[in-house]
Amino acid sequence: MVLALQDQQLNIMKQKVERLAIKARFERIPALRISKDKHLLAKASILRKKITIGAELLSQWKKGEIDENDVEVTLAHEIGHLIDFERGFSSVLFRYDAFVVLYLVLSVVLPRLFWFSYLTEPWIPPLMIFVIWACFLPWVLRRASCAIQLEADSKGAQLLTEEQFANSIVKRSKFHDSKGSGLIETWDLLLHVILFPSLNQRLRNLNFEIKESKIEIQRKEDKENQK
C-alpha cells in the first residue's frame, strides 16, 4: 500500500516536472529521484539537472498537510534554480557562490600577509582579522543563500501564478513555526534563519505581503488602490 502510494506520488510529480520543464523551455526534462532522507524536502542538483524529493515532503503530502498545489510550487522552485544556473556566469547562483569563495580565500590570505608585517606581537593582527571574519561569515552566507533562494522563487513563480506561489509559501511557513524545541530542532531552525529568506522577504520578492495579522495575502498594488 505504501509503495503504491509512493508510486502514485512519483507519477504525479513526474508529470508536473515535465510540464514545468516544457514551460521553462528545457531541452531535457530533469530527472526525478526519491531520497530516504527524512529531513529533506527537495533539492536541485544543478550540474546533473536532477531534482531530488525527500521523505519529509512525501510524508507531509501523505498526511494531507500539503496538497498537489504545494508540491507543484516546490518543484517549480527547484526548477527555478536550474533556470538560473543555465544563465552561466550571469546567474545569481554563480555570482554569489563566487562572492562566498572570494570571502573565504581572503580570510586565509589576509592573516598570512599581516603575520609578517609586525615585529612585535605578530599574532594580534591575524587574530583580529579572524574575529572579524567569524563575525561577518553568517551575514555573508545569508546574503548569498537568500539571493539564490529568492531568484529561484522568482523564476519558479513565472512558471505558475504568483498567487499560487505566494499562498503556498505562507502555508508552508507554519511547519517551521510548529517544530519542537529540542537540540536538533533548535539547530535546524538556526540554520534555516541564517540560510533562508524570511516569509516577508519571500513575499515581497513576489510583490505580495501578509494582510494585517491574518494568514491572507494580497498584492501591494491592490492594497494601495484600496486607500
Cell matching residue 46: 544543478
Least confident range of 39-48, 116-125, 159-168? 116-125
DSSP 8-state secondary structure symbol assigned to residue 29 = P
- What does the pLDDT read at residue 213? 45
Cβ atoms of residues 166 and 222 within 8 Å = no
* Burial group, residue 157, by CB count within 10 angstroms (0-12, 13-18, 19+): buried
Close Cβ partners of 186 (under 8 Å, ≥ 6 residues apart): none
Cell matching residue 10: 512519483
Residue whose entry in the numeric block shows the C-alpha cell 525527500: 54
Residue 211: which pLDDT band, with cuts at 50, 70 and 90?
Answer: low
The mean per-residue pLDDT over the stretch 209-215 comes to 58
Q: Is the pLDDT of residue 15 over 90?
A: yes
The mean per-residue pLDDT over the stretch 206-224 comes to 64
pLDDT, tens only, 138-149? 889 899 999 999
Q: Is the pLDDT of residue 2 over 60?
A: no
Average predicted confidence (pLDDT) for the chain: 82
Of 87-91, 118-122, 125-129, 179-183, give the range with the top mean pLDDT: 87-91
Domain 2-90+141-226 homologous superfamily, CATH = Metalloproteases ("zincins"), catalytic domain (3.30.2010.10)
Domain ranges of the chain: 2-90+141-226
